[in-house]
Amino acid sequence: MTPAEERALARTHQWFEANSGWAPPDPETLQDWAAEGSCRAPDECWVAVRGTCEHGLASWQLVLDELAALDARRPPDA
């Protein structure tokens, strides 16, 4: 993860706190977007697969990758 991606993720989490009604895309949708070399940010902007939108939000791919990494680090009994 690059410093720019980390900044975008921090900003995206602030956006999640300030906005309701968002939902992560299902894995199939994410794959369809990736097949076209793009992804959406949580505010619906089209971005590169691991890109950042013009509002500074990270793509869903980055957000979900980060969540998966956090899950992988969590001990099974936590």
Q: Within positions 18 to 77, which residues make up the interface with Zn ion, using CB under 5 A?
A: 41, 43, 45, 53, 55
Crossing angle for the helix pair 60-73 and 3-18, to the nearest 10 degrees: 100
Q: Which is nearer to Zn ion, 7 or 69 (CB)?
A: 7
What are the beta bridge partners of residue 48? Answer: 38
- In this structure, which amino acid lies at residue 30? L
Question: Rg for the chain (alpha carbons), in Å?
Answer: 13
For residue 78, the minimal CB distance to Zn ion (Å) is: 33
Q: For residues 44 and 71, which CB has a smaller minimum distance to Zn ion in the complex?
A: 44
- Would you tell me which residues interact with Zn ion (CB under 5 A)? 41, 43, 45, 53, 55
